[in-house]
Amino acid sequence: MGGLSLLAPMAWRNLWRNPRRTWITLAVVAVGLYSILVFAALLDAWARSSRDAALDVLIGSGQVHAPRYLDDQTIAQRMAAPGARLRAVLDGPSVEGWADRVRTPAVIQSEYKTLPAELLGVRPARERAISVVPRDVSAGRYLAGDADGGIVLGAHLAKRLKTRLGKRVIVMAQDATGALAQRSFRVVGLYSASQEDEDRFAFTGIEPAQAMLGIGTDVSEISFKLADDAGAPATVAALKAAGPGLDVRPWTALAPLTAAMNSFMEAFVYIWLWIMFVLMAIGIVNTQLMAVFERVREFGLLQALGMRPRLVLAEVLLESALLIGLGVLAGAAAAVATVLAFSGGVDLHFLARGAEFFGAGHVLYPRLAPAQFAAVSALVWALGVLVALWPAGKAAGSSPAEVMSHAQ
């Protein structure tokens, strides 16, 4: 029997017997799905923004250190410059960029103030591939090369030190022997980042830093950025094999708070999905039950005329599938339009401090994730049809004798 050719026109026309109810259900499904998809896109943008803010200054996708460096982040826990085996992995296709650094606690003294900070000796060309600091220089310039003896300070630190471009500052730190080393640097640039990072990190060329600290060509850390985060476990394993005895960790271990926030936001999307779905399900079941109860006689009639209960169930389910499907299409289309409209950025400057508190940037960039949109839409549709089984089952259970008895 051409079941669909029999059921589809009936189901479609039945939907419009009570247009008001149909439009209300459509709106419930569309608005519910719209809020899920747009909320998911914003949360994803927020999660990416906060992750990028945390990782793109220094951490990258992961780091390599001397074994005890993370417990004692001083120059005493340094390691040799990366050898051939380590470089072979770092220069491999899974790694987008990497940079070795010298990094030590220091104090920076201007004419007016002395403040704590971390001195980083960096290779500017490599840093450009993995860090946003070279890009975010707001005044002056970034470092020109490994031997550049200038210093780039965070804009807020410079303000607190009451120093400025062209002025000199004194940096003091313990050297390889434990003695106090100091060196004068000219301020060549100021960078913008979160206030915490601006206060914390000061950058100079790797060679002046190594010379000041007397560590030869040793380094404190190697930071690497992966082309695809999904490849992190394999790359970490390869680096561990290439650098036995070194401490290789992915960013999730280096920034556990950021990782936890990231997981929480992913989980929150699903919590929101379930909250909205429960509300939608109540709406769908309520309206479909009303539609079924109003038509009990009709379902009895269909069975009296020779329509099997299974086909009655299929007819009511098809009505729900069409109704929810239309709502899903409308909701998804509106969500795609909204996300595309805001893909250029949602400016959160009006709550800048709040955004920074959560580790996010000032501008969120929601993006269209077609697979996620399709999966969530399909899930909402399938779950909606599933809950409609209840009213459909009621319809299929209608007694054909009802029709005769009503006619008495």
Q: Which stretch binds other proteins (CB under 8 A): 2-10, 62-70, 111-119, 204-212?
A: 2-10
The residues pairing with 223 across neighbouring beta strands, listed in sequence order, are 63, 99
CA nearest 70: which of 245, 209, 249? 249
Report the distance separating Cα 398 and Cα 405, nearest Å. Answer: 13
Measured CA distances, 378 to 326, 331, 370, 408 (Å): 12, 12, 12, 46
Per CB under 8 A, 304 contacts other proteins: yes
Cβ closer to other proteins: 166 or 306? 306
Q: Which residue in 118, 229, 298, 356 binds other proteins (CB under 8 A)?
A: 298
Cβ closer to other proteins: 187 or 302? 302
Report the distance separating Cα 294 and Cα 17, nearest Å. Answer: 11
Q: Which residue in 305, 349, 370, 371 binds other proteins (CB under 8 A)?
A: 305
Cβ closer to other proteins: 18 or 35? 18
Q: Which stretch binds other proteins (CB under 8 A): 25-33, 102-110, 117-125, 393-401?
A: 393-401
Q: Count CA atoms within 13 Å of residue 224 on its CB side.
A: 29
Q: Which stretch binds other proteins (CB under 8 A): 13-21, 78-86, 209-217, 265-273?
A: 13-21
Task: Name the minimum Å distance from CB 358 to other proteins.
Answer: 53
Q: Binding string, 15-44, against other proteins, x = CB under 8 A?
A: --x---------------------------
CA nearest 104: which of 74, 72, 68? 74
Q: Are 214 and 221 in contact (CB under 8 A)?
A: no
Q: Are 15 and 7 in contact (CB under 8 A)?
A: no
Report the distance separating Cα 110 and Cα 170, nearest Å. Answer: 7
Per CB under 8 A, 8 contacts other proteins: no
Q: Which stretch binds other proteins (CB under 8 A): 6-14, 137-145, 226-234, 339-347?
A: 6-14
CA nearest 315: which of 292, 286, 337? 292
Per CB under 8 A, 14 contacts other proteins: yes
Task: Name the minimum Å distance from CB 391 to other proteins.
Answer: 18
Q: Are 197 and 80 in contact (CB under 8 A)?
A: no
Task: Name the minimum Å distance from CB 23 to other proteins.
Answer: 18
Q: Which stretch binds other proteins (CB under 8 A): 8-16, 123-131, 173-181, 210-218?
A: 8-16
Report the distance separating Cα 58 and Cα 135, nearest Å. Answer: 13
Q: Binding string, 307-346, against other proteins, x = CB under 8 A?
A: xxxxx-----------------------------------
Task: Name the minimum Å distance from CB 370 to other proteins.
Answer: 37
| SS3 at position 164 | coil
Q: Which stretch binds other proteins (CB under 8 A): 120-128, 144-152, 243-251, 397-405?
A: 397-405
Task: Name the minimum Å distance from CB 394 to other proteins.
Answer: 16
The radius of gyration of the chain from alpha carbons, rounded to an integer in Å, stands at 31
Report the distance separating Cα 158 and Cα 193, nearest Å. Answer: 13
Task: Name the minimum Å distance from CB 314 to other proteins.
Answer: 13
Q: Which helix (H) or strand (E) holds 203?
A: strand 201-205
Per CB under 8 A, 290 contacts other proteins: no
Q: Are 101 and 122 in contact (CB under 8 A)?
A: yes
The residues pairing with 169 across neighbouring beta strands, listed in sequence order, are 185
Task: Name the minimum Å distance from CB 300 to other proteins.
Answer: 8
Report the distance separating Cα 335 and Cα 327, nearest Å. Answer: 12
Q: Which stretch binds other proteins (CB under 8 A): 53-61, 121-129, 158-166, 400-408?
A: 400-408
Count of residues that bind other proteins according to CB under 8 A = 31
Per CB under 8 A, 1 contacts other proteins: yes
Task: Name the minimum Å distance from CB 29 to other proteins.
Answer: 22
Report the distance separating Cα 361 and Cα 367, nearest Å. Answer: 15
Strands 114-122 and 201-205: parallel
Binding residues (CB under 8 A) for other proteins: these are 1-2, 5-6, 9-10, 13-14, 17, 297-298, 301-311, 399-401, 403-408
